[in-house]
A and B are shown apart, each in its own frame.
Chain A
Amino acid sequence: MRTAITAVLAGILACHPANGGTVPAPQKVSVHDVLTRPSLVGKAVEVTGRCLGYSVPTVAKGSPPVTRSDWQLEDQGEAVWVTGSMPDGCTGTTPAEAPSTITALVAQDTMPGLGGQKPVARQYLVRR
């Protein structure tokens, strides 16, 4: 119950809209957009969410796509893996208290199937 609250809290905190500018690029998208729109692959995007660190709680699907230090960016109960530096106030083991907005490149990989499952394509973010 207590661990589940973290995810609930993450969703609530992530609801706060980021202060957006008017710069047209990179494209502003949501975590949900990144996860569900393969057409974004290769594009620079601006995404708002809360950094969850490595895996507590685990929201993003599959394993970290690039490095062992990849982290999750969560919004509205969904999370995308991000490879690269973490926002201020977040570490691999300590989630951020507030959402942040990052710019990153959308990339795609294939999650390996386990136990006979089929591999699945998924999008992730590259932030360097």
Chain B
Amino acid sequence: MKAFQRICLVAALTTAAACGGSSNENGGGGGGGGGTREWTVMVYMAADNSLAVQGILDLDEMEDAGISDKVQVVAQAEFSPSVLDQQQCTAACFNRPNFNTFRYAITQAGGSAKNGPDRGTVSEIAGGSNVDMTNPNTLKDFISWAKTNYPANHYLLVLWNHGGGYTGLIQDETSGGSGLMSLDELKAGLTGAGPIDVLDFDMCLMAGYETLAKIVGLADFAVFSEEVVPGQGNPYNTIINGIQANPTQDARTLSGMIVDRFNASYQGSKASTTLSAYDLSAFAGFETSLNDLATTLQAGLPGLGTTIGQAAGVSQKYTYPQLTDMVNFLDSLNVRVAGQAALQTKIAALRTAVTSASFRINNAVHNGNGQTQQGQVDDVSRSNGLHIVLPSGSGQDVLPQSGSSSLASYQALMPGKPWTSFLAAYAGGQTTTAMTDQGDNRFEAYLVWDSDAIAAGADVDFWVLEPDGNIYLPAFGSVTPNGTMSNDSYNDQVNFEGYLTNRFVAKGDYLIFANLWTDPANFQPAYDLAYRYDQNANFSLFFQGNGQPNPVLSLQTSWLNDPTPTLGEILGGAYSDLQYVGTQTFAVPPAPFARQGPTASTAALRAGGRSLTPAQIATLRRLVTIDRLGGGAPPRRLAGLWQMPFSARGGQ
């Protein structure tokens, strides 16, 4: 047996934290404008995803706007290698030597001669790398860089990319995987970044109560869309021209101007569009009215539930059907509760608050002329500027039982809010999973193994069998019903992988397994389980902490060679490449959350009834077998180590 090497969890964590580090290198020539420059437009262009081409074209639009000593446009951008490869394009297609993240200040007049940056100063970050644009620290660093080098009296921050409303925003394929930055992470990225006069979401679906709740106090005005936005997004040339033409305009005027110019640019087009602008100084008053209504609605449940569902069902909906236009819902509900004076008073108060000119600055909707398969237009005409999560309960218009759009995720995102409480009471009946609240201190566990195993080509996988009876592992997805996986260790060339559970998790047993996927040099890695219940605390090692030797994985007795593997056999240690590690149990009601560590006792597990079905075994066998046969192709995300510091992710 190979001696257990020093497990480099600490080193790995240190490296991971360092990867999200700051960079305040000089951007080249733009500094010193404070007092004379009125606006700096900061575009955070996360185009390392399906939107790479649109990003390049939008950079060209910014260049086409020309320059002004009163208005400076800067961007931090990166583009997807795989998407551009589909167009037989290299980085040369956007006038760069590589796919590293770059910062760009437009300083030269004239329209774009080439696709990509060719009208100003370009610099790479931290000496040249592809950074994780979903990392809050990356966003914060960009803002700091822009303000340091291009100070102005006012700042417009444009977040450019995918948006999914309350499910998150911004995707970075190469460095951040498929997942989105959460709204809490956005809040973290803006916190401490200094004043943002206008925050413009050039992305889909972000015009929601939840967005405002996260950015209040961090930005003065918000511009965003209730519905999905066309691929072209903002008309940057006309918007920047609008700022250049009146550089002393205040943030309120500018916010309204963006809405008008966006709307004007899509007149006559196929796409239906929505865009609105809000003054966050009036958010508190609005939220007070919303809280009052939520409390009243919840008090009326369950009797009022059907009426609420009907009102939501006939209201303006969006590509994510659970998103419901707030004003349209209030109007629909109001006519259904005639005679309930107290409730109607709350409805009226909220309607007044959400449409007040002191709160809603501008709202523009446009029905495109594009045809659907039913021969209709995509009708967004009943959009009033702000949506809220409210499923009707019919068809697809429900909260999924798992994932980032689930009720549990909403509860984790918006804890303590009366609307959250109402939503749980109203929509909770649509889900049957018993949940428990871990609070801010969540169970987090990672398999860690010999660091030398990386060089030896050995690959270890973290498996977790959740209470729903399904097995999840980072190699096959980033999100489980109850947690978020780390990146796949093989892709990132690190010696750990695991997951952080959600604040709200399904009650039951979570069984953790270690799987050796490949071991070409017969390295036989030893491993341990690092876990904790407090995201600010140090990890504990399960085996070493209990004075036990570290188990060793090998391919000697593979579960893949057993035509009928069972959970009992895995638990009993029948296989050398698939080993049971331990169990975390979230207690059945009414017991409180029990902070027991993973236990090595398997007898209770067998008696507990948790089992793998033959179909699940077959699926896993197929997935893993295909994976093993797929050798040879290089991992696509070679770009780097995991850049999400555990503490940052865990603290959200």
B127-176 residues with Cβ-Cβ distance < 8 A to A are 161-164, 167, 171, 173
With A and B bound together, what is the CA distance between A63 and B631 in angstroms?
29
Q: Is A44 an interface residue (CB 8 A)?
A: yes
Residues of B within 8 A of A6 (CB): 476
Q: Which residue of B lies closest to A103 (CB)?
A: B373
Q: Is A85 an interface residue (CB 8 A)?
A: yes
With A and B bound together, what is the CA distance between A111 and B179 in angstroms?
27
Q: Is B257 an interface residue (CB 8 A)?
A: no
Cross-chain contact of B84 among A57, A93, A114 (Cβ < 8 A): A114
Cross-chain contact of A105 among B163, B179, B373 (Cβ < 8 A): B373
Q: Is A35 an interface residue (CB 8 A)?
A: no
B285-302 residues with Cβ-Cβ distance < 8 A to A are none
Q: Are A2 and B490 in contact (CB under 8 A)?
A: yes
Q: Are A67 and B86 in contact (CB under 8 A)?
A: no
Q: Is A104 an interface residue (CB 8 A)?
A: yes
Q: Are A1 and B84 in contact (CB under 8 A)?
A: no
Residues of B within 8 A of A105 (CB): 371-373
Residues of B within 8 A of A128 (CB): 372-374, 376, 378
User: Knowing A126-B373, A128-B373 touch, does A1 contact B631 (C-beta < 8 A)?
Assistant: yes
Question: How many residues in A have their beta carbons less than 8 Å from beta carbons of B?
Answer: 46
Q: Is A56 an interface residue (CB 8 A)?
A: yes
User: Knowing A64-B51, A68-B203, A85-B396 touch, does A115 contact B89 (C-beta < 8 A)?
Assistant: yes
B602-650 residues with Cβ-Cβ distance < 8 A to A are 622-623, 626-627, 630-637
A1-50 residues with Cβ-Cβ distance < 8 A to B are 1-6, 8-9, 12, 26, 44
| A-contact 0/1 string along B218-259, CB 8 Å cutoff | 000000000011110100000000000000000000000000
Q: Is B425 an interface residue (CB 8 A)?
A: no
B163-220 residues with Cβ-Cβ distance < 8 A to A are 163-164, 167, 171, 173, 177-180, 203-205
Residues of A within 8 A of B490 (CB): 1-2
User: Knowing A2-B627, A61-B86 touch, does A93 contact B178 (C-beta < 8 A)?
Assistant: yes
Q: Tell me how far the C-beta of A95 lies from the nearest C-beta in chain B, rounded to whole angstroms.
A: 8
With A and B bound together, what is the CA distance between A82 and B82 in angstroms?
19
User: Knowing A8-B630, A9-B626 touch, does A67 contact B271 (C-beta < 8 A)?
Assistant: yes
Q: Is A101 an interface residue (CB 8 A)?
A: no
Q: Are B89 and A2 in contact (CB under 8 A)?
A: no
Residue among A8, A111, A114, A128 having the largest count of chain B Cβ atoms under 10 Å: A114
Q: Is B50 an interface residue (CB 8 A)?
A: yes
With A and B bound together, what is the CA distance between A66 and B57 in angstroms?
15
Cross-chain contact of B491 among A3, A9, A92, A111 (Cβ < 8 A): A3
Residues of B within 8 A of A53 (CB): 178
Q: Are A62 and B87 in contact (CB under 8 A)?
A: yes
User: Knowing A62-B86, A115-B94 touch, does A4 contact B53 (C-beta < 8 A)?
Assistant: no
Q: Are A3 and B637 in contact (CB under 8 A)?
A: yes
Residues of A within 8 A of B88 (CB): 117
Q: Tell me how far the C-beta of A98 lies from the nearest C-beta in chain B, rounded to whole angstroms.
A: 11
Question: How many residues in B have their beta carbons less than 8 Å from beta carbons of A?
Answer: 75
Residues of A within 8 A of B89 (CB): 114-115, 117
Q: Are B173 and A69 in contact (CB under 8 A)?
A: no
With A and B bound together, what is the CA distance between A103 and B89 in angstroms?
32
Would you call the interface of chain A mostly helix, strand, loop, or mixed? loop
B548-606 residues with Cβ-Cβ distance < 8 A to A are none
The count of A-to-B residue pairs whose CB atoms sit within 8 angstroms is: 177
Q: Are A55 and B80 in contact (CB under 8 A)?
A: yes
Q: Which residue of B lies closest to A79 (CB)?
A: B86
Q: Are A4 and B230 in contact (CB under 8 A)?
A: no
With A and B bound together, what is the CA distance between A71 and B405 in angstroms?
17
Q: Are A4 and B403 in contact (CB under 8 A)?
A: no
Q: Which residue of A lies closest to B317 (CB)?
A: A85
Residues of B within 8 A of A117 (CB): 87-89, 93
With A and B bound together, what is the CA distance between A123 and B479 in angstroms?
32
User: Knowing A58-B50, A68-B204 touch, does A126 contact B371 (C-beta < 8 A)?
Assistant: yes
| A-contact 0/1 string along B403-414, CB 8 Å cutoff | 111000000000
Q: Which residue of B lies closest to A102 (CB)?
A: B373
Cross-chain contact of A44 among B162, B373, B477 (Cβ < 8 A): B373
Q: Are B475 and A2 in contact (CB under 8 A)?
A: yes
With A and B bound together, what is the CA distance between A64 and B319 in angstroms?
15
A74-113 residues with Cβ-Cβ distance < 8 A to B are 84-85, 88, 91-94, 103-105, 111-112
User: Knowing A1-B631, A68-B231 touch, does A115 contact B51 (C-beta < 8 A)?
Assistant: no
User: Knowing A61-B87, A68-B231 touch, does A114 contact B94 (C-beta < 8 A)?
Assistant: yes
Q: Tell me how far the C-beta of B518 lies from the nearest C-beta in chain A, rounded to whole angstroms.
A: 9
Q: Are A93 and B180 in contact (CB under 8 A)?
A: yes
User: Knowing A66-B370, A92-B164, A128-B376 touch, does A54 contact B171 (C-beta < 8 A)?
Assistant: yes
Residue among A5, A60, A61, A84 having the largest count of chain B Cβ atoms under 10 Å: A5
Q: Which residue of A lies closest to B85 (CB)?
A: A58
Q: Is B384 an interface residue (CB 8 A)?
A: no
Cross-chain contact of A115 among B93, B405, B478, B632 (Cβ < 8 A): B93
B16-61 residues with Cβ-Cβ distance < 8 A to A are 49-54, 56-57
Q: Tell me how far the C-beta of B162 lies from the nearest C-beta in chain A, rounded to whole angstroms.
A: 6
20 contacts between A and B (CB under 8 A): A1-B634, A3-B636, A3-B637, A5-B475, A8-B630, A9-B623, A55-B49, A55-B80, A55-B178, A63-B52, A64-B51, A66-B231, A68-B161, A68-B231, A84-B319, A84-B372, A93-B180, A105-B372, A126-B372, A126-B373
Q: A3-B636, A63-B52 are in contact. List 4 more A-B contacts (CB 8 A).
A: A55-B178, A103-B373, A115-B94, A126-B370
Q: A residues near B, CB below 8 A?
A: 1-6, 8-9, 12, 26, 44, 53-58, 60-70, 84-85, 88, 91-94, 103-105, 111-112, 114-115, 117, 126-128
Q: B residues near A, CB below 8 A?
A: 49-54, 56-57, 80, 82-84, 86-89, 92-94, 114-115, 161-164, 167, 171, 173, 177-180, 203-205, 228-231, 233, 270-271, 319, 321, 370-374, 376, 378, 396, 403-405, 475-479, 488, 490-491, 622-623, 626-627, 630-637
